[in-house]
Amino acid sequence: MELNTILEAFGIEGSTEIIAQGHIHRSYRVLDSETKLARFLLQRINHHVFPDIELLQSNLSRLLDHLHRQHVKEEAADWVPLRLHRTLNGQTYWRDEHGYFWRIFGYLQDFLAYDRPPTLAHVQRGGRAFGQFLQLISSLPLEQFSETIPDFHSLSFRKQQLESALAHHPPQSKVELEAVQLAQSFLPKLWPIEQARQKGTLPLRLTHNDTKFNNVLFSTSHLQHCIIDLDTVMPGLIHYDLGDALRTLAATCAEDEADLGKIGVNTLYIENFTTHFLDCIQSLSTEEIDSLPISPALLSGIMGIRFLTDHLQGDQYYQVQFRGHNLQRARCQLQLMRLFWEAQDVIEKCVFNASHKR
């Protein structure tokens, strides 16, 4: 399919170049024919990960409409919302003759993403950006947003997946067995949050649910930021957003570090991100205050279990560079789980200070 045909459906002209980053959707920059500057971001939506495209785009459109209304109300806002472009027929996506689904966003010039924060100031700004985002969307009714990926951060669901994988593909090496045993040994420690979610004692919020550090863009002027990758904005727990952010920014290594001795957590980053994140949240329940310190251990454990499950099942979900790559990722994340568990006191202090400011 010629990409120009897709652009025509949105009333847009230009040339395209593929963007290498991104594990879910296939993305392209749309360049101005004369200046060659990027004007739009074209995405082919992964309908295997997000099978209900109508639900996905309905969530997204409702969210962005709200953010644009909020942005208009603020003078000199330090954040900008994504802009979703519609087709000539007024739709938020277009389906091509091969059954693929496409959408277009405005391209943010002079904004950068970082897999790891380059400075402490970026950690602080990232904490404020994600905390501010949660507060901005807190007035939206939860019932208007459906789950785009059911059980995304459900520990009980990930536990079931691991048990099913073990039943069909038991560990074949000492390394695999040790990873399984570590994951299973931590399940009781992480379970209180899952149990509270199931019982409804932890309040559901509208959350981002994929707060990797590279999902906040920083302007090169250092004056503005933009939260991206909004497909998983749906009802969840504040623990998911704090935990996933700390999992990715406070780790001193890559997600797939093979040498367990090189894996560590940066407590200064934990403290600064958590403080700036919570400063933007206007209210925390007693139950949230008591359980938030477990958040990064929980999210690291969930990711470790997901990587381990995929390894046992033959690498069906995540792309790998070699056989054993998912096992390597799992061991890294499970080691982070252990280290974040030991660093709870740092988060406890931040949560205590934030709760007593109110």
pLDDT digits (tens, 9 = 90+) for 267-289: 999 999 999 999 999 888 999 99
State the CB neighbour count (10 A cutoff) for residue 100. Answer: 15
Domain 3-109 has CATH 3.30.160: no
Cα–Cα distance list, 245 to 9, 96, 150 (Å): 37, 35, 20
User: The dihedral of CA 191, 174, 164, 335: what is its sign?
Assistant: positive
pLDDT at 118: 94
| pTM confidence score | 0.93
The CATH class that applies to domain 120-355 reads alpha beta
| CA gap 173, 52 in Å, rounded | 39
d(CA 9, CA 102): 10
Q: Are 236 and 207 in contact (CB under 8 A)?
A: yes
Tokens of 213: 């550090």
Q: Which two tokens stand for residue 287?
A: 């139950």
CA pair distance 334, 158, nearest whole angstrom: 14
102-124 residue pLDDT tens: 999 999 999 999 999 999 999 99
pLDDT at res. 23: 62
Q: What is the DSSP letter of 218?
A: E
Phi-psi region of 294 (alpha: psi -120 to 50; beta: other; left: phi over 0): alpha
Query: What does the pLDDT read at residue 63?
Result: 98
Give the whole-angstrom CA distance, residue 90 versus residue 87: 5
The closest of 241, 257, 239, 249 to 113, measured between CA atoms, is 249
Q: What does the pLDDT read at residue 9?
A: 95
pLDDT beneath 70, residues of the chain: 1, 20-23, 356-358
Query: How confident is the model at residue 49, as a pLDDT?
Result: 87
What are the residue boundaries of the structural domains of the chain, listed by start? 3-109, 120-355
Write out the two tokens for 187. 């399940």
pLDDT at 22: 61
- Calpha distance 358→353 (Å, rounded): 9
pLDDT at 21: 64
